[in-house]
């Protein structure tokens, strides 16, 4: 479902939007006409959006809702790493070139086949079996329904300043995480930055109607940065998977070289966008949002006659 900020009772409007999103998620994930993997994937995407929206609710509800959504999201992530690794291998296979092409492709194909091999059954009910995942989905539905009821029953109020302050806090966290990642160059720091950049993207998209021509461009840029950071993290999973597979030295070296090159390219692309997005201080960003809100609200008021 699509939603955007309302300047008339903005907090209550956000409250309604979030409740609707959670209930729609509960309804759709129960639709067994869709494959289980598709339902889980779509639910995880909606949970990320729900977390972003929850973070701009008034506190302390924002904190408790975010924790609940985080826990549900993590429980549904059992197979995510393997799926993401296989997707990253498929992308790397299209980028292998020059002298490393033959060896890199051979190494990536061997790694992919190793990951696809069935695991040794540790028990009668593996953690990633369809029945186990369905149980996790059923538990998630119950938790989301309860959370929707809790949020709907909360007595919330506030003007647009509440939304602007919370969105600016996310921008501040993303900016801080970006600076740390650029200093350290460590994948885990880039992974943390990706999380906050993605939330910043969701907030920009939610706020875009305040000034569509500008904020939608900023939202698109934040999405591109988050996407590059996500692909970089998935490639890091390929590097980690290599440690568990015995490859000949030639293919192993070629794959590592390819991983280094593509990850460096993605990190640079994300940094280029991020430095432009966060060139503005969070305080200035908050002030700008308030000015946009005031201008939009003034525009919707009837003009005085005479």
Position 120 scores a pLDDT of 53
- The answer to the question of residue 215 being in a domain is yes
pLDDT tens sequence across 227-249: 999 999 999 999 999 988 889 99
Position 301 scores a pLDDT of 53
- In sequence order, which ranges of the chain are alpha helices (DSSP H)? 10-29, 36-54, 61-75, 80-95, 101-116, 130-153, 160-184, 187-207, 212-242, 249-277, 282-300
Residues contacting 179, CB < 8 A, separation 6+: none
pLDDT tens sequence across 252-305: 999 999 999 999 999 999 999 999 999 999 999 999 999 999 998 776 555 454
- The answer to the question of residue 121 being in a domain is no
- The number of domains in the chain is 1
Which residue range forms the structural domain that includes residue 67?
10-116+130-300
The arithmetic mean of pLDDT across residues 202-221, rounded, is: 94
Q: How many CB atoms lie within 10 A of CB 216?
A: 15
- The answer to the question of residue 1 being in a domain is no
For the chain, the average pLDDT equals 89
pLDDT tens sequence across 76-113: 875 677 788 999 999 999 887 655 688 999 999 999 99
Band of pLDDT at residue 41, cut at 50, 70 and 90: confident
The arithmetic mean of pLDDT across residues 168-194, rounded, is: 96
CATH code, 16:
1.40.20
d(CA 6, CA 162) in angstroms, rounded, equals: 12
- The answer to the question of residue 243 being in a domain is yes
Position 76 scores a pLDDT of 83
- The answer to the question of residue 172 being in a domain is yes
Residue position matching structure tokens 């069935």:
118
- The answer to the question of residue 123 being in a domain is no
- The answer to the question of residue 125 being in a domain is no
pLDDT tens sequence across 131-180: 888 888 999 999 999 999 999 999 998 899 999 999 999 999 999 999 99
d(CA 203, CA 207) in angstroms, rounded, equals: 6
Position 125 scores a pLDDT of 45
- The answer to the question of residue 226 being in a domain is yes
Residues above pLDDT 90, as percent of the chain: 70
Its pTM stands at: 0.88
The arithmetic mean of pLDDT across residues 205-231, rounded, is: 95
More confidently predicted of 38 and 286: 286
d(CA 44, CA 65) in angstroms, rounded, equals: 16
């Amino acid at each position: 479902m699509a939603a955007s900020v309302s300047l008339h009772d903005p907090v209550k409007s956000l409250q309604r939007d979030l409740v609707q999103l959670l209930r729609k998620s509960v309804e759709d994930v129960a639709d067994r006409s869709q494959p289980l993997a598709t339902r889980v994937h779509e639910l995880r995407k909606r949970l990320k959006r729900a977390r972003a929206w929850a973070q701009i609710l008034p506190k302390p509800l924002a904190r408790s809702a975010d924790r609940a959504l985080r826990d549900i999201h993590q429980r549904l992530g059992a197979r995510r790493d393997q799926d993401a690794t296989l997707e990253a291998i498929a992308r790397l296979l299209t980028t292998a070139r020059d002298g490393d092409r033959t060896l890199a492709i051979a190494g990536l194909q061997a790694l992919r086949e190793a990951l696809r091999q069935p695991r040794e059954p540790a028990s009668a009910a593996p953690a990633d079996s369809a029945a186990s995942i369905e149980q996790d989905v059923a538990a998630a539905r119950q938790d989301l329904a309860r959370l929707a009821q809790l949020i709907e029953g909360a007595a919330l109020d506030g003007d647009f300043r509440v939304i602007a302050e919370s969105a600016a806090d996310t921008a501040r966290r993303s900016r801080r995480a970006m600076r740390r990642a650029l200093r350290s160059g460590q994948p885990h720091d880039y992974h943390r930055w990706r999380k906050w950049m993605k939330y910043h993207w969701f907030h920009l998209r939610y706020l875009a109607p305040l000034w569509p021509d500008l904020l939608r461009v900023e939202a698109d840029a934040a999405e591109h940065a988050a996407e590059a950071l996500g692909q970089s993290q998935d490639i890091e999973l390929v590097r980690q998977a290599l440690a568990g597979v015995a490859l000949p030295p030639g293919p192993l070296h070629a794959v590592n070289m390819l991983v280094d090159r593509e990850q460096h390219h993605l990190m640079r692309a994300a940094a280029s966008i991020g430095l432009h997005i966060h060139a503005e201080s969070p305080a200035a960003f908050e002030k700008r949002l308030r000015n946009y809100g005031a201008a939009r609200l003034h525009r919707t008021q009837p003009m005085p006659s005479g």
